[in-house]
Structure 1
């Protein structure tokens, strides 16, 4: 049943994008580009299945503490290898090193992002260390990651 709903959604989405492509001169998106969605879903479900409920709750609490504005800024900073604002640094440091590392490890273990983890995870540690150097004096002294 879940698979049927997903396939229906993908077909409908493909039709909408085809219509938009004709109207706005965009390239159409074909269903073939979603061929491994069930694989991705199964992979991510398996990832969650191997986590304890305590770990999932911990990561949810960490995510709740991170502002959505900072989450977006942090993601853009990691992808584009750019620093984040002092306000975002403060938010990152306030959630704590364990939360930051846990969220990064989890996010970059998912199917869609696991292939870039080796590049992005070191950036997340550098981002943390930069925030420690630039912002920690105002809020306390969190520990830097070893380099």
Structure 2
């Protein structure tokens, strides 16, 4: 799996989540109906995933995604896929968005059709990245908590 795929999927998914939230607020249906996904199991699955999320949750995840720099998103993707460490600058970005945002985004991304089958393998790396960032950067910006290991 290449990093570009993960980044692109993340951006598309968060954009879809935001648009879905706006549509729910305005009582406008902008996404296709489930019947239109008959030949696309991934799209149907992800549509249903979003459909079962509250507007508040979608808005929260969108705000979290908006706080993440694209450079840091790339580094995190590489860290998740290739088990690489992230830079101190990216760690600062990750820690500043907070553990709830980090965990929420990771949970959402790994619940999607394309990534659900690798979630057990890759999701623990998100905790590893968070803990690495706490060790290397937290003292400089405040002390977020580490995940229990």
TM-score normalised by structure 2 residue count: 0.73
1:64 corresponds to which residue?
66
- The aligned counterpart of 2:54 is 52
Residue 124 of structure 2 corresponds to: 122
In the alignment, structure 2 segments of 5+ residues that lack a partner are 1-37
Looking at structure 2, the residues matched to 48 and 37 of structure 1 have their Cα atoms a distance apart, in angstroms, of 19
Matches within 5 A, 1:12-23: none
Paired residue for 1:135? 137
Stretches of structure 1 lacking an aligned partner (at least 5 in a row): 1-35
Matched, 1:90 2:102: no
| Cα drift, residue 120 of structure 1 | 1.0
Distance in 1 between residues matched to 2:56 and 2:39, nearest whole Å: 28
Provide TM-score, normalisation by structure 1. Answer: 0.74
Hey, what's the Cα distance between the residues in 2 that align with 1:114 and 1:131? 25
- Looking at both structures, which has the greater relative contact order when contacts are Cα pairs under 8 Å and sequence separation is at least 6? 2
Aligned to 2:111: 109
Tell me the matched-pair count: 112
| C-alpha distance after superposition, 1:66-113 (max 9, x if no partner) | 001100111011100010000000000000000000000000110000
CA shift for structure 1 position 55: 0.2
Moved over 3 A (4+): none
| Aligned-partner Cα distance in 1 for 2:77–2:39 | 22
